[in-house]
Structure 1
């Protein structure tokens, strides 16, 4: 089923996977040389989403505490965030809330393509809507940036 996985496909599949599929995707991705992480964040404030992902990326050693790597992660998160917000950046200030799974994947864009250098992919997947239960809808965003 998952013969060859690109960095973006790994990030998207992992973000939407059930517990039983997650192990299969994670094992295949790691066998192909990718480093992967899956976390969760819920917020009405975009800065909390960005901070949660950056904290996880540093804690799990996806990036070092140097500007170039932090900048790469920021742009990958920003691209993914623009996707879930459909180009309308903003949550709490327009009374929207988000409950999201986030995945971080680091490695080459294609399995084994080390000549191209290291890249980082971030996916945000979950629900967004008015801060009233039942008024939300599914969203997904993907950002990929060189590290």
Structure 2
């Protein structure tokens, strides 16, 4: 069970997120039978960040909303990415922090063997800080989970 170097799902999720031409990146991923989407969310509520990412993943056919394990895998990938953004304490408004984030969700098989199945990655990049313009700094997070 070896990771394929040209299919590192976390790396690809981050590159998609930071790409100057995400549509081209998404088209290349689709050629390899991967699914992905990008979006933006800003909030003082972590549950709104989770909801925005879940909604985008469902609308873009990355996960099937009627299959629990797919929603569950996405949820854990989102939470892992939020841990990176919030430095381990997934709290926003309750501690007077707000985020403005771009996100990418990517689904595919990063392994040489097809039998390994799909994995899902969520990457987040943007700002976090006090809810006062100019009181924020950059942040990034990545979460990966098997489906």
Tell me if both proteins adopt one fold, taking TM over 0.5 as the criterion. yes
Instruction: For residue 26 of structure 2, give the secondary structure of its aligned residue in structure 1.
Output: helix
Gaps of 5+ in 1: none
Query: Which runs of no fewer than 5 residues in structure 2 stay unpaired?
Result: none
1:92 alignment partner in structure 2: 93
Task: Measure, in 1, the Cα distance between the counterparts of 2:7 and 2:110.
Answer: 9
TM-score by length of structure 1 reads: 0.89
1:113 to partner: Cα distance? 4.0
* RMSD, aligned α-carbons: 1.6
Per-residue deviation at 1:68? 1.2
Number of residue equivalences: 142
Q: Is the 8 A contact 2:7 2:110 kept in 1?
A: no
Query: Pairwise mapping of residues 1-147 of structure 1 onto structure 2 (< 5 A)?
Result: 4-18=6-20, 21-64=21-64, 65-110=66-111, 113-147=113-147
The structure-2 alpha-carbon separation of the partners of 1:115 and 1:66, relative to structure 1 and needing over 3 Å to count, comes to: closer
CA distance in 1, matches of 2:33, 2:61: 15
Alpha carbons 2:40, 2:102 under 8 Å: kept = yes
Distance in 1, Cα, partners of 2:134 & 2:57: 31
CA distance in 1, matches of 2:7, 2:23: 15
* Partners of 1:106 and 1:38 in 2: CA distance: 12
